[in-house]
């Protein structure tokens, strides 16, 4: 049975019943039908323990990190724990591009699957609109006399779709009535600073403060021009007033799932919202959350940015791995990863080793979840478990795709034990706030990625010097690079070391309060593949969708 068929056969609870499991009354719910709702409740004092689910470097095969997150939450619920799952929302770009749906799989899914993968409660649309409202106000200001003397515009428009043709565009063409012609471009909504701001804001007041601090461009003297100077912050906040409220859905087994925010980890900070996480921690005893892509991306940013900013103290990290991904990292061709290959698996174990070591650098207890596929052999699973435990991390085979929470009971029992016996504390951050931006990049690139030389393009070096001489020096760094490798080169698999790490650009995000370091050939607006997932999707005359997975 396919994922979508399993989801359609589900008999979900009314969302009010799901909310009641973690103590939310109907008065604090804003219903979007029977199975999804906004939560208007403000986060209270944290009482729960936080568990991070991350993974080895992803491959084109898919590793099932969300599937494990859902299965773990369901497993904890089966053990009698008061648990809440917190996830990011999928972006339409990957849904219609390569990835397809992003709501888990098999019997470990969040539902309503079709709604969550498509428009859900409209948060991405609100973020896109707020972003482009600011763009419209910038160009209107310039057209109407440019009182602020804007010389260069840094702010770009956005769209929640993979559309490479919009990476560079010319705007205000067609005559003087349309404004002053200039070169512009789009980023995908997940990379918009508005997305990061929404996910890092504590409340509406904090949201407005951050929106006002967005740098939209520079005047002729090189001084920043901010959104607050255009009187745009309140207008954007009005558009986002509902989007800032977390969304509640459920797993197939009725476990509460707070789903809110969706920045990518390869081009943004890769975590769901602070509000969603803090709200869950104030309601549940154990909160399972997820960070995007591999641990060197999503987990690093979750720990160095989100935990630092929000004071979050995770109790454990679950590192998801698969036999076929490790074989791929060991040199096995993609089309042969479903065959037993212990030699390639042994070589690929270095990728697992690197991620375990990195998570331990942050002071976290690490548990490995081996996401089982039907083609995995007992010898391969045993090899991964033995290797992980030799690296100081207990390993469990998870079969939640086929069995739901029942297939994750051993992993869940270990996580519950760690949550009850460990003392949560702030992570051991990779760098100090007072370090220069170059020192922060070096700390991540050399200590976590394994890089040798850090090389700056002339443009990046000029920006680095300016940032280090400014108040923005204290910001954490958000490194934008490929998800497929520890390096910035997607072809360097396994555990490369000593490679040159090239920083192409540095972007000040004064609203989200971090510095984006653009490395390698990473792009902030992805493109569609030769045969996009959209080309394989269908909808019947009765409205039944197929092909989201």
Nearest by Cα to 273 from 262, 288, 287, 257: 262
Output the six-digit token pair for 443.
Answer: 């700390």
Q: Is residue 187 part of a domain?
A: yes
Nearest by Cα to 516 from 455, 469, 467: 467
Contact 408, 397 (CB under 8 A): no
End-of-domain residue from the set 213, 240, 267: 240
Q: Is residue 268 part of a domain?
A: no
Residue 520, sorted as left (phi over 0), alpha (psi -120 to 50) or beta, turns out to be left
Q: Could you write out the three-class secondary structure of 168-204?
A: CEEECCCCHHHCCCEEECEEEHHHCHHHHHHHHCCCH
Q: Could you write out the three-class secondary structure of 195-242?
A: HHHHHHCCCHHHHHHHHHCCEEEEECCCCEEEHHHHCCHHHHHHHHCC
Return the beta strands (E) in 325-404 as ranges: 366-371, 394-398
Give dist(CA 14, CA 254) in Å, integer: 9
Contact 352, 56 (CB under 8 A): yes
Name the β-bridge partners of 291: 271
Q: Is residue 337 part of a domain?
A: no
| Sign of the torsion formed by the C-alpha atoms of 90, 93, 94 and 100 | positive
Helix ranges (H only) for 10-97 are 15-20, 65-78, 92-96
pLDDT tens, residue order, the chain (549 aa): 777 778 778 889 999 999 999 999 999 999 999 999 999 999 999 999 999 999 999 998 888 999 999 999 999 999 999 999 999 999 999 899 876 678 999 999 999 999 999 999 999 999 999 999 999 999 999 999 999 999 999 999 999 999 999 999 999 998 888 888 999 999 999 999 999 999 999 999 999 999 999 999 999 999 999 999 999 999 999 999 999 999 999 999 999 999 999 999 999 999 999 999 999 999 999 999 999 999 999 999 999 999 999 999 999 999 999 999 999 999 999 999 999 999 999 999 999 999 999 999 999 999 999 999 999 999 999 999 999 999 999 999 999 999 999 999 999 999 999 999 988 899 999 999 999 999 999 999 999 999 999 999 999 999 999 999 999 999 999 999 999 999 999 999 999 999 999 999 999 999 999 999 999 888 899 999 999 989 989 999 999 888 877
According to DSSP, residue 99 is labeled: S
Output the six-digit token pair for 499.
Answer: 């490679």
Cα atoms found within 13 Å of the Cα of residue 348, Cβ hemisphere only? 28
- Number of other CB atoms surrounding residue 228 within 10 Å: 17
Name the β-bridge partners of 314: 50
Q: Is residue 56 part of a domain?
A: no
Give dist(CA 319, CA 351) in Å, integer: 12
Nearest by Cα to 54 from 477, 517, 368, 455: 368
End-of-domain residue from the set 221, 240, 259: 240
Which pLDDT does position 522 carry in this prediction? 87
CATH number at residue 462: 3.10.410.10
Output the six-digit token pair for 189.
Answer: 């909504």
Q: Is residue 200 part of a domain?
A: yes
Cα atoms found within 13 Å of the Cα of residue 344, Cβ hemisphere only? 20
112 prior amide bond cis, ω within 30: yes
pTM: 0.95
Largest CA distance in the chain: 72
Number of domains the chain contains: 2
Which pLDDT does position 99 carry in this prediction? 67
- Number of other CB atoms surrounding residue 301 within 10 Å: 26
Output the six-digit token pair for 287.
Answer: 């909160």
Which pLDDT does position 423 carry in this prediction? 87
Q: Is residue 177 part of a domain?
A: yes
Contact 97, 533 (CB under 8 A): yes
CATH number at residue 207: 3.30.1510.10
Output the six-digit token pair for 167.
Answer: 């990476």
Which residues belong to the active site?
A: 65, 67, 88, 99, 265, 293, 373, 401
Output the six-digit token pair for 526.
Answer: 């992805």
End-to-end CA distance of the chain: 12
Which pLDDT does position 8 carry in this prediction? 79
Q: Is residue 311 part of a domain?
A: no
End-of-domain residue from the set 205, 220, 240: 240
Give dist(CA 259, CA 514) in Å, integer: 23
Which pLDDT does position 179 carry in this prediction? 86
Beta strands 286-290; 83-87: pairing state: parallel
Please provide residue 509's backbone torsions phi and psi, each rounded to the nearest 5 degrees.
Answer: -110, 85
Which pLDDT does position 101 carry in this prediction? 74
Structural domain of residue 505, as residue ranges? 437-519
Q: Is residue 300 part of a domain?
A: no
Contact 328, 341 (CB under 8 A): no
Beta strands 256-259; 83-87: pairing state: parallel
């Amino acid at each position: 049975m396919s994922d979508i068929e399993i989801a359609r056969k589900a008999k979900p609870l009314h969302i009010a019943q799901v909310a009641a499991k973690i103590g939310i009354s109907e008065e604090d719910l804003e219903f979007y039908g029977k199975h999804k709702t906004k939560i208007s409740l403000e986060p209270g004092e944290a009482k729960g323990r936080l568990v991070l689910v991350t993974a080895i470097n992803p491959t084109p095969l898919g590793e099932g990190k969300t599937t494990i997150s859902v299965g773990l939450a369901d497993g904890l619920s089966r053990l009698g724990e008061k648990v809440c799952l917190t996830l990011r929302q999928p972006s339409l770009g990957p849904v219609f591009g390569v990835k397809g749906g992003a709501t888990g799989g098999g019997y470990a899914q969040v539902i309503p699957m079709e709604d969550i993968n498509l428009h859900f409660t409209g948060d991405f649309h609100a973020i896109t609109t707020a972003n482009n409202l600011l763009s419209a106000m910038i160009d209107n200001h310039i057209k109407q006399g440019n009182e602020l003397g804007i010389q260069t515009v840094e702010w770009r428009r956005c769209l929640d779709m993979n559309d490479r043709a919009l990476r560079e565009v010319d705007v205000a063409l067609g005559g003087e009535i349309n404004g002053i012609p200039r070169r512009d471009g789009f980023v995908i909504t997940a990379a918009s600073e508005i997305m990061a701001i929404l996910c890092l804001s504590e409340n509406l007041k904090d949201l407005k403060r951050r929106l006002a601090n967005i740098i939209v461009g520079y005047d002729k003297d090189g001084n920043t021009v901010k959104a607050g100077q255009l009187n745009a912050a309140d207008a954007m906040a009005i558009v986002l007033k509902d989007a800032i409220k977390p969304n509640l859905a459920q797993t197939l087994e009725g476990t509460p799932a707070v789903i809110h925010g969706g920045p990518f980890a390869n081009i943004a900070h890769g975590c769901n919202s602070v509000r969603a996480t803090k709200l869950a921690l104030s309601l549940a005893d154990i909160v399972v959350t997820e960070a995007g892509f591999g641990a060197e991306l999503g987990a690093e940013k979750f720990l160095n940015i989100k935990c630092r900013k929000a004071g979050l103290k995770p109790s454990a990290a679950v590192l998801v791995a698969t036999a076929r991904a490790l074989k791929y990292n060991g040199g096995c061709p993609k089309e042969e990863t479903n065959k037993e290959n212990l030699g390639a698996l042994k070589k690929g174990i270095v990728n697992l080793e690197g991620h375990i070591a990195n998570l331990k650098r942050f002071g976290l207890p690490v548990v490995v979840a081996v996401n089982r596929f039907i083609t995995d052999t007992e010898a391969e699973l045993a090899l991964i478990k033995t290797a992980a435990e030799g690296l100081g991390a207990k390993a469990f085979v998870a079969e939640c795709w086929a069995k739901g929470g029942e297939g994750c009971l051993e992993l869940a029992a270990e996580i519950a034990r760690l949550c009850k016996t460990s003392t949560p504390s702030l992570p051991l951050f990779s760098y100090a706030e007072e370090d220069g931006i170059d020192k922060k990049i070096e700390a991540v690139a050399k200590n976590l990625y394994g890089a040798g030389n850090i090389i700056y393009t002339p443009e990046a070096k000029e920006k680095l010097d300016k940032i280090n001489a400014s108040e923005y020096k204290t910001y954490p760094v958000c490194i934008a690079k490929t998800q497929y490798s520890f390096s910035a080169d997607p072809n360097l698999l396994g555990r490369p070391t000593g490679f040159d790490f090239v920083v192409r650009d540095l972007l000040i995000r004064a609203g989200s309060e971090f510095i984006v370091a653009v490395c390698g050939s990473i792009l902030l607006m992805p493109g569609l593949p030769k045969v996009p997932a959209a080309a394989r999707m269908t909808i019947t005359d009765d409205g039944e969708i197929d092909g989201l997975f």
